[in-house]
Amino acid sequence: MKTKGIYLIPFLGGLALSDEKINTRWQDVVISIMGPFFGLVLSIVFTILYWMTGEMLFAGLAVFNALLNLFNLLPILPLDGGHVLKSITFSMNSWIGLVGSIATAALGIYISYAFGLTLLGFLLIMGMLEVVIEWRLRHHSHLLPLTRYGQMFSFVWYLLSVGGFVAIIWYFAGLGDSLLSLPLQILGT
Protein backbone atom coordinates (compact mmCIF):
# COMPACT_ATOMS: atom_id res chain seq x y z
CA MET A 1 0.00 0.00 0.00
CA LYS A 2 1.21 3.47 -0.76
CA THR A 3 1.52 5.78 2.20
CA LYS A 4 0.66 9.43 2.43
CA GLY A 5 2.81 9.97 5.46
CA ILE A 6 4.35 8.37 8.51
CA TYR A 7 4.20 10.08 11.87
CA LEU A 8 6.54 8.94 14.62
CA ILE A 9 6.10 9.87 18.26
CA PRO A 10 9.35 9.16 20.11
CA PHE A 11 9.03 6.36 22.69
CA LEU A 12 5.31 5.94 21.95
CA GLY A 13 5.04 4.62 18.41
CA GLY A 14 3.95 5.75 15.02
CA LEU A 15 1.11 6.09 12.58
CA ALA A 16 1.17 5.45 8.85
CA LEU A 17 -1.49 7.08 6.70
CA SER A 18 -2.37 5.46 3.41
CA ASP A 19 -3.70 6.87 0.17
CA GLU A 20 -5.80 3.75 -0.24
CA LYS A 21 -8.62 2.41 1.92
CA ILE A 22 -8.27 -1.08 3.24
CA ASN A 23 -10.85 -3.50 1.85
CA THR A 24 -10.49 -6.60 4.00
CA ARG A 25 -10.11 -7.50 7.64
CA TRP A 26 -6.93 -9.39 6.64
CA GLN A 27 -5.34 -6.13 5.49
CA ASP A 28 -6.34 -4.59 8.82
CA VAL A 29 -4.72 -7.48 10.72
CA VAL A 30 -1.48 -7.38 8.73
CA ILE A 31 -1.16 -3.60 8.96
CA SER A 32 -1.92 -3.66 12.68
CA ILE A 33 0.34 -6.52 13.72
CA MET A 34 3.41 -5.83 11.59
CA GLY A 35 4.66 -3.00 13.81
CA PRO A 36 4.51 -5.04 17.03
CA PHE A 37 5.85 -8.11 15.21
CA PHE A 38 8.86 -6.08 14.05
CA GLY A 39 9.18 -4.92 17.67
CA LEU A 40 9.26 -8.57 18.78
CA VAL A 41 12.01 -9.36 16.30
CA LEU A 42 13.94 -6.31 17.54
CA SER A 43 13.50 -7.38 21.19
CA ILE A 44 14.78 -10.85 20.31
CA VAL A 45 17.81 -9.31 18.55
CA PHE A 46 18.52 -7.16 21.63
CA THR A 47 18.18 -10.26 23.84
CA ILE A 48 20.66 -12.18 21.69
CA LEU A 49 23.05 -9.22 21.77
CA TYR A 50 22.73 -9.18 25.57
CA TRP A 51 23.56 -12.90 25.72
CA MET A 52 26.57 -12.41 23.45
CA THR A 53 27.99 -9.32 25.20
CA GLY A 54 26.48 -9.22 28.69
CA GLU A 55 25.89 -5.51 28.08
CA MET A 56 22.97 -4.25 30.20
CA LEU A 57 22.11 -1.63 27.58
CA PHE A 58 20.85 -4.41 25.28
CA ALA A 59 18.84 -5.93 28.12
CA GLY A 60 17.23 -2.58 28.85
CA LEU A 61 16.42 -2.01 25.18
CA ALA A 62 14.88 -5.49 24.89
CA VAL A 63 12.67 -5.00 27.96
CA PHE A 64 11.63 -1.44 27.13
CA ASN A 65 10.79 -2.38 23.55
CA ALA A 66 8.86 -5.45 24.72
CA LEU A 67 6.80 -3.42 27.20
CA LEU A 68 5.90 -0.73 24.64
CA ASN A 69 4.88 -3.29 22.05
CA LEU A 70 2.96 -5.38 24.56
CA PHE A 71 0.86 -2.35 25.48
CA ASN A 72 0.31 -1.70 21.78
CA LEU A 73 -1.13 -5.21 21.46
CA LEU A 74 -3.70 -4.69 24.20
CA PRO A 75 -7.18 -5.36 22.80
CA ILE A 76 -8.29 -1.75 23.13
CA LEU A 77 -9.04 0.52 20.18
CA PRO A 78 -7.27 2.45 18.71
CA LEU A 79 -4.26 0.30 19.68
CA ASP A 80 -3.08 -2.32 17.19
CA GLY A 81 -4.23 -5.19 19.39
CA GLY A 82 -7.74 -3.76 19.35
CA HIS A 83 -7.72 -3.74 15.55
CA VAL A 84 -6.45 -7.32 15.35
CA LEU A 85 -8.95 -8.77 17.80
CA LYS A 86 -11.80 -6.69 16.39
CA SER A 87 -11.02 -8.04 12.91
CA ILE A 88 -11.01 -11.62 14.20
CA THR A 89 -14.17 -11.28 16.29
CA PHE A 90 -16.12 -9.29 13.72
CA SER A 91 -15.33 -11.90 11.06
CA MET A 92 -17.31 -14.48 13.02
CA ASN A 93 -20.91 -14.41 11.89
CA SER A 94 -22.58 -16.21 14.76
CA TRP A 95 -23.13 -15.90 18.46
CA ILE A 96 -20.86 -18.92 18.84
CA GLY A 97 -17.98 -16.79 17.56
CA LEU A 98 -18.76 -14.05 20.06
CA VAL A 99 -19.05 -16.57 22.91
CA GLY A 100 -15.75 -18.13 21.81
CA SER A 101 -14.10 -14.70 21.82
CA ILE A 102 -15.46 -13.96 25.29
CA ALA A 103 -14.30 -17.37 26.56
CA THR A 104 -10.83 -16.78 25.11
CA ALA A 105 -10.69 -13.34 26.73
CA ALA A 106 -11.84 -14.86 30.04
CA LEU A 107 -9.02 -17.41 29.80
CA GLY A 108 -6.55 -14.61 29.09
CA ILE A 109 -7.85 -12.67 32.08
CA TYR A 110 -7.56 -15.74 34.32
CA ILE A 111 -3.99 -16.42 33.13
CA SER A 112 -3.07 -12.75 33.65
CA TYR A 113 -4.31 -12.76 37.22
CA ALA A 114 -2.82 -16.20 37.93
CA PHE A 115 0.63 -14.91 36.95
CA GLY A 116 0.16 -11.66 38.86
CA LEU A 117 -0.25 -9.49 35.76
CA THR A 118 -3.15 -7.54 37.25
CA LEU A 119 -2.95 -4.51 34.97
CA LEU A 120 -2.87 -6.71 31.89
CA GLY A 121 -5.94 -8.62 33.13
CA PHE A 122 -7.84 -5.41 33.83
CA LEU A 123 -7.05 -4.00 30.39
CA LEU A 124 -8.16 -7.29 28.79
CA ILE A 125 -11.52 -6.87 30.54
CA MET A 126 -11.88 -3.33 29.20
CA GLY A 127 -10.91 -4.35 25.68
CA MET A 128 -13.30 -7.29 25.57
CA LEU A 129 -16.17 -5.13 26.84
CA GLU A 130 -15.49 -2.71 24.00
CA VAL A 131 -15.57 -5.51 21.41
CA VAL A 132 -18.79 -6.96 22.85
CA ILE A 133 -20.50 -3.56 22.79
CA GLU A 134 -19.47 -2.93 19.16
CA TRP A 135 -20.15 -6.49 17.96
CA ARG A 136 -23.70 -5.73 16.82
CA LEU A 137 -22.36 -3.08 14.44
CA ARG A 138 -20.04 -5.50 12.62
CA HIS A 139 -22.39 -5.83 9.62
CA HIS A 140 -22.15 -2.10 8.90
CA SER A 141 -18.48 -2.40 7.98
CA HIS A 142 -17.30 -2.32 4.36
CA LEU A 143 -14.41 -4.68 5.19
CA LEU A 144 -14.55 -8.24 3.90
CA PRO A 145 -14.34 -10.69 6.83
CA LEU A 146 -11.51 -13.10 7.51
CA THR A 147 -11.88 -16.72 6.44
CA ARG A 148 -11.72 -19.39 9.17
CA TYR A 149 -8.07 -19.94 8.26
CA GLY A 150 -7.45 -16.18 8.46
CA GLN A 151 -9.13 -16.03 11.86
CA MET A 152 -7.03 -18.90 13.24
CA PHE A 153 -3.77 -17.65 11.71
CA SER A 154 -4.36 -14.11 12.99
CA PHE A 155 -5.22 -15.38 16.45
CA VAL A 156 -2.11 -17.58 16.67
CA TRP A 157 0.07 -14.75 15.32
CA TYR A 158 -1.38 -12.41 17.95
CA LEU A 159 -0.91 -14.92 20.80
CA LEU A 160 2.67 -15.73 19.79
CA SER A 161 3.52 -12.02 19.66
CA VAL A 162 1.98 -11.31 23.08
CA GLY A 163 3.58 -14.45 24.53
CA GLY A 164 6.97 -13.46 23.13
CA PHE A 165 6.82 -10.03 24.75
CA VAL A 166 5.70 -11.44 28.10
CA ALA A 167 8.46 -14.07 27.97
CA ILE A 168 11.14 -11.43 27.31
CA ILE A 169 9.85 -9.23 30.14
CA TRP A 170 9.66 -12.23 32.48
CA TYR A 171 13.15 -13.45 31.56
CA PHE A 172 14.85 -10.14 32.27
CA ALA A 173 12.85 -9.61 35.47
CA GLY A 174 14.27 -12.92 36.69
CA LEU A 175 17.84 -11.65 36.41
CA GLY A 176 17.47 -9.77 39.68
CA ASP A 177 18.11 -6.27 38.36
CA SER A 178 15.58 -3.84 39.84
CA LEU A 179 15.40 -1.70 36.71
CA LEU A 180 14.88 -4.68 34.41
CA SER A 181 12.11 -6.01 36.65
CA LEU A 182 10.22 -2.70 36.51
CA PRO A 183 8.07 -3.68 33.48
CA LEU A 184 6.89 -6.82 35.27
CA GLN A 185 6.08 -4.74 38.33
CA ILE A 186 4.09 -2.34 36.14
CA LEU A 187 2.12 -5.24 34.66
CA GLY A 188 1.49 -6.55 38.17
CA THR A 189 -0.03 -3.33 39.54
- The answer to whether 74 touches 81, Cβ cutoff 8 Å, is yes
Of residues 41 and 10, which shows the higher confidence score?
Answer: 41
pLDDT at 104: 80
pLDDT at 19: 52
pLDDT at 4: 53
Average pLDDT over residues 86-98: 78
pLDDT (tens digit, 9 = 90+) per residue, 108-123?
Answer: 888 888 888 788 788 8
Query: What are the residue ranges spanned by the domains of the chain?
Result: 27-187
* Angstrom distance (rounded) from CA 70 to CA 35: 11
Residue 67: count other Cβ atoms within 10 Å of its Cβ: 19
% of the chain exceeding 70 in pLDDT: 87
Average pLDDT over residues 152-171: 94
The pLDDT confidence band at residue 60, using thresholds 50, 70 and 90, is very high
Q: Which residue in 44, 45, 35 sits closest to 15, CA to CA?
A: 35
Looking at residue 19, its amino acid is: D
Question: In the predicted model, what is the mean pLDDT of the chain?
Answer: 83
| DSSP H stretches of helix in the chain | 25-53, 56-72, 80-90, 95-114, 118-134, 148-173, 182-187
pLDDT at 13: 55
pLDDT at 10: 52
Of residues 105 and 3, which shows the higher confidence score?
Answer: 105
pLDDT at 158: 92
Indicate whether 62 pLDDT > 80: yes
pLDDT at 167: 96
Q: Which residue in 111, 118, 112, 114 sits closest to 189, CA to CA?
A: 118
* Angstrom distance (rounded) from CA 129 to CA 184: 25
20-58 per-residue burial string, b: 16 or more CB within 10 A, e: under 16 = eebebbbbbbbbbbebbbebbeebbebbebbeeeeeeeb
Counting Cβ atoms within 10 Å, is residue 158 exposed (0-12), middle (13-18) or buried (19+)? buried
pTM, 2 dp: 0.79
Indicate whether 17 pLDDT > 70: no
Average pLDDT over residues 91-112: 80
Long-range contacts of 61-64 (CB under 8 A, 24+ apart): 62/168, 62/172, 63/168, 63/169, 63/172, 63/180, 63/182, 63/183, 64/183
CA 136 to chain centre: 23
